[in-house]
Amino acid sequence: MAQRGPARLSRPLLVGFGLLIGGWACVSLTDPEVLTLFVAPQLVDCVGIGPQTCMLVKESPDTDWTYFYDGIDGFDFEPGFYYELRVLRHRVENPSADGSSFRYVLVRLVSKIPEA
């Protein structure tokens, strides 16, 4: 049986792969800022792109709770606990049309207190 040369990729496949890689290259992150986030013990119904559940967060103990539509990389929410988190917030320079303009990454779980 004759040896065949290396497999050749079709032109449409190469173009698709190039667009995929090129699309990723357009999304870059800026230098992060460090934030403290306080997280409420229950998820709530909210509407972003569609119906979803959101965390309630605030940046200071004496401010009002606000809906948090994003996730936090490295943080696993467990209902029934108040959290204080230290996070990095990166600005996404070219987010997708339905994507967030920020990316959050957990730096440290400062406290996890059971709801009374």
pLDDT band at 29 (very low <50, low <70, confident <90, very high): low
- What's the CA gap between 53 and 99, in Å, rounded? 16
Mean pLDDT of 38-61: 94
- Contact indicator for 47, 41 with CB cutoff of 8 Å: no
The pLDDT assigned to 30 comes to 62
**Would you call 80 exposed, middle or buried from its count of C-beta atoms within 10 A (0-12, 13-18, 19+)?**
exposed
